[in-house]
Chains A and B, each alone.
Chain A
């Protein structure tokens, strides 16, 4: 059995980086939103109550569900807008990792408690 060693595969638009950039930026946003929603639920009793989608799990159910829904929606929207484009990926990566880093820091309770 011979294996194709061509470097081109997938749909035509996969030759640009727009679809990948959409996935990367949306993932950074999704991670950041986990931290933001968790922080909001921690600081406001009203938001905490709203975030209880499933009582046995408590506000964690709403925090994560909201972040996942927004993440997937953002991914879809960015994908539709960017899929045929070639973007400055360095800028997208910097923003995505900044969001990811902030998310990581804001989920750490001693830091989150500073707000």
Chain B
């Protein structure tokens, strides 16, 4: 069982940070609806307040890690320019996609959208974390503010979802691979 270094980095970016962030969004939404809604039965406690703060700060860290690894580690491998005369474009995903009219849309629409819209997630969730840090339990006394935070968390879920969907589909058609081969396990030979 082996994977290339670039493949592993892409997996950490997408599955480690991106997918985990998407899952964490549902937790943040549930917590904001359940504990901080006007109809929530019990007042939010100090423990709830601390939980929400730590949870949103961790989500913000994850979102920033996802976009920064994406933009500064994976994307340069994706958009690498092949030397003149290269016929095998397997190591140049962007060029591989653009080489065919049946796949070029994955770059011209998918990647072009993903590379920008993904940044809405860390901006939105950093705002949500900032508000949680500043207001804590007082958020319940500001329904307009709570609604805005909820809206931005929904948008961060949407933008991370768009980025994740296109990332997965693009990597399926033109995988980012290369670098050293990392061996994890020896399989059975038949």
Contacts and interface: CB of A to CB of B under 8 A. Distances in A.
A31 B145 CA distance: 18
Contacts of A23: 127, 130-131, 134
A7 B71 contact: no
A7 B140 contact: yes
A56 B94 CA distance: 13
A24 B152 contact: yes
Given A24-B145, A27-B127, A34-B116, A64 B49 contact: no
Contacts of B138: 7-10, 14-15
A97 B28 CA distance: 19
Specify the main secondary structure of chain A where it touches its partner: helix
B147 A108 contact: no
Interface residues of B, number: 46
Contacts, number: 134
Contacts of A97: 148, 151
B9 to A, nearest CB: 14
Interface in A73-110: 75, 89-90, 92-93, 96-97, 100, 103-104, 107-110
Interface stretch (B19-27, B39-47, B178-186): B39-47
A44 interface: no
Contacts of B72: 54, 56-57, 61
Across the A-B interface, give the 3 residue pairs with the lowest CB-CB distance, nearest first.
A56-B76, A89-B144, A27-B127
Interface of B: 42-47, 49, 67, 71-72, 75-76, 79, 108-109, 112-113, 115-117, 119-120, 123-124, 126-127, 130-131, 134-138, 140-142, 144-145, 147-149, 151-152, 155, 158-159
